[in-house]
Amino acid sequence: MLNDTLTAVPRECGDCPIRHRAVCARCDANELEQLEKIKYYRSFEAGQTVVWSGDQMEFVGSVVKGIATLTQTMEDGRTQMVGLLLPSDFVGRPGRSTAAYDVVATTDLVMCCFRKKPFEAMMAKTPHIAQRLLEMTLDELDAAREWMLVLGRKTAREKIASLLSIIGRRNATLNLSDVTGSVVFDLPLTREAMADYLGLTLETVSRQISSLKKDGVIHLEGKRHVTVPDFDRLLAEAGDDSDGGMLA
């Protein structure tokens, strides 16, 4: 079954769906050819752990398809999600040998991997890669800081609204549609994963979603399919005047 997934993945960088957004975005044809030589695809099933915190990192890479989470765990089991990895996002840190976080596949996942050593060697010779990685890292830093405001200062209701607006906005970006008026999307996370992202308990997440539903801010079909009739209303509930956290 893993092969089915692999078959769906492009063999050539030219066909790659994340070609223009990933760490390789700035590479020219020649550089891409070099990358082709050291890349390989790996597939993971939903729920599988991609990397364990503290383990040796033998590769870095990009998410091609699916969603993964970056989480930290305390000894007593308290868990905090510190990043949501979407297609084109980069995993791993050049120059560091062990992983600092758990990476877990939330959905079935395909990654484009590079063995760490050759990648680092290539990065040193190829400014285009380092430049793009810097740009992506600065974006992630902004997203992390945006999230610090959510975690530190927002109420449970605002936290949920913030998460929904981020997911909604991202979906709109991918579909190239406007975030005006009504927005529809599927939640890629369980209530528990949402709780881990928001620094809440899953019960509180559930209650606040019910409350937003009751107040007509969102509609639900099943547990995952969300309709936001008025996106500005959602943003107001999130405590953001205009555009709050852009995550990816």
Partner DNA sequence: CGGTAAGTTGAGTAGAGTCAAATTTGGTGG
Partner DNA sequence: CCACCAAATTTGACTCTACTCAACTTACCG
Where do contacts with DNA occur on this chain (CB under 7 A)?
A: 155-157, 190-192, 199-207, 209-210, 220, 222-224
64 with 41: CB under 8 angstroms?
Answer: yes
Tokens linked to 171: 């979906």
For residue 197, report the phi and psi dihedrals to the nearest 5 degrees.
Answer: -70, -40
Give 131 or 180: the residue with its C-beta nearer to a second copy. Answer: 131
**Smallest distance, Å, CB 120 to a second copy?**
12
User: In Å, what is the CA distance from 165 to each residue of 42, 53, 212?
Assistant: 31, 29, 13
**Smallest distance, Å, CB 149 to DNA?**
14
For β-strands 90-91 and 59-65, DSSP reports them as antiparallel
For residue 77, count CB atoms less than 10 angstroms from its CB and return exposed for 0-12, middle for 13-18, buried for 19 or more: exposed
The size of the chain, in residues, is 248
Binding status of residue 93 toward a second copy by CB under 8 A: yes
**Smallest distance, Å, CB 89 to DNA?**
23
Tokens linked to 245: 């956290």
47 with 104: CB under 8 angstroms?
Answer: yes
Q: Which residues lie closer than 8 Å to 105 by C-beta, 6 or more apart?
A: 44, 45, 46, 47, 48, 49, 50, 66, 67, 68
208 with 157: CB under 8 angstroms?
Answer: yes
Interface characters, 28-67, with a second copy (x: CB under 8 A): ----------------------------------------
Residue 207: which of a second copy, DNA, none does it interact with, CB under 5 to 8 A by kind?
A: DNA
Binding status of residue 151 toward a second copy by CB under 8 A: yes
Tokens linked to 118: 């050759």
Segment near a second copy (CB under 8 A); pick from 49-57, 69-77, 105-113, 166-174: 69-77
Give 65 or 157: the residue with its C-beta nearer to a second copy. Answer: 157
Q: Which of 45, 134, 182, 224 binds a second copy (CB under 8 A)?
A: 134
Count of residues that interact with a second copy, criterion CB under 8 A: 38
Give 9 or 156: the residue with its C-beta nearer to a second copy. Answer: 156
Give 43 or 244: the residue with its C-beta nearer to a second copy. Answer: 244
**Smallest distance, Å, CB 12 to DNA?**
32
DSSP-assigned beta bridge partners for residue 220: 226
Residues near a second copy (CB under 8 A): 70, 72, 74-76, 78-80, 82-83, 93, 95, 100-101, 127, 130-131, 133-135, 137-138, 140-142, 144-149, 151-153, 198-199, 239, 241
